[in-house]
Chain A
């Protein structure tokens, strides 16, 4: 991808899963990458695994003060920011009737409020500097109804609209897009689903398989690069065709 070399990149939730794979991809592109994560054990692990990282920052995106402190640390680490991969997120599989108020708040706090706190800090730096790119992690769950994830789905639908609104207000200095993955085989997914459930997912996908974290990282790289210089305010689905026919909403 063009134009990623030496770019200063922050990846939230970057110590594991799709975030960590994305860190690898941007390092391969020659970018300067920092990772923010609240999981200290995972941060220690990725620091060992990816010595080329410019650093990791321990912070909880759902707390505005924690995010503000993290960005002060980021300023010291990278001296500014060109690309934000706003990726941190959680999901809890539960029927709607069993979601507790506390769980609801936790999911919205991390996936939606956290995305806002981080995006605002990042945009402040980009607007003051030479612009940049913000990529928000959405989900096909934010575009369709899905069983057992009412809180998560709602947060991801919010991410899509947050993306459009930010794109309008921050243009032309900052480009803002969201990506909406379908079923991607990450450690989070493998822990959550039985092998039978994974087979069932594969059958629903026109390409006949789950996605790989590397494929999501490649979409982030494309949208962050100069190849996507005219792309802003949209969400990009990467799901092997799963929601193309509207058949995604099976229990």
Chain B
């Protein structure tokens, strides 16, 4: 028996990085997992890996910035997995640029993928959870949702929004027994991080070495964040809502 036996989870950005690690872990813990992503080959590979391990998963192609796609992702999850108990709003992108350099289109895209997606998916998922007597929503925020970062203004704005919309949603839906929390990862070794290194013209090695400069002297692994998501998704955290769980090797402690 896993911690999530009998539960159904929808994970956005589930094809890679933190989303992939969480999909694999949730499945090992007994959840049926809906892997939502734009990256179809990647998402289907995760589904195959889960199935090979004896777990249950489906792939849902989803552009999280589009209402129709979000609605369909929720509907397909409910139809094929029999319900929706856990929504992990994890899809995200980063654009490493200042206000001056960021284009309007980039700003809109970052806000749509990182913030609007949470609004849309929650909008469709919450009624399903409320009818079932409760549920859990976990949002991927960032350490840069709590403090400022350089050359990433759209990302910082979006993650600050994620932290505070987490709190607002926790207040609104506590009565329906829906817990809403966010995770604030520090630098985590994912495809997004490597893409970030590319954007600022650094080698992976340079970027990863810098990212490891924190009290625990290493970079985060997707599994570190997946474990935190499991804790927030499971009944072990049944009195926890409206919080930001920081998983960053102590990066923001000092």
Contact = CB atoms under 8 A, between A and B. Distances in A.
A228 B227 contact: yes
B240 A219 contact: yes
Contacts of B220: 230
A218 B224 contact: no
B239 A232 contact: no
B167 interface: yes
B48 interface: no
B179 A207 contact: yes
B215 interface: yes
Given A219-B237, A222-B236, A231-B228, A168 B250 contact: yes
Contacts of A216: 239
B174 A240 contact: yes
Contacts of A243: 242
Nearest to B254: A168
A172 B217 contact: yes
A164 B254 contact: yes
A165 B170 CA distance: 30
Interface string A207-225: 1100110011011011000
Nearest to B172: A206
Interface residues of B, number: 35
Interface residues of A, number: 36
Contacts of A237: 240, 242-243
Interface in A151-187: 164-165, 167-168, 171-172, 175
A206 B240 CA distance: 10
Interface string B215-251: 1111011001001101100001111111101111110
B177 interface: yes
B237 A171 contact: no
Nearest to A234: B246
A244 B241 CA distance: 8
Nearest to A184: B239
Contacts of B238: 215, 218
Contact of A234 (B177, B218, B221, B252): B252
Contact of B231 (A165, A222, A241): A222
A211 B248 contact: no
B227 A171 contact: no
18 contacts: A164-B254, A167-B253, A206-B170, A222-B231, A227-B227, A228-B228, A229-B224, A230-B216, A230-B224, A230-B249, A234-B250, A237-B243, A238-B243, A240-B239, A240-B241, A244-B242, A244-B243, A245-B171
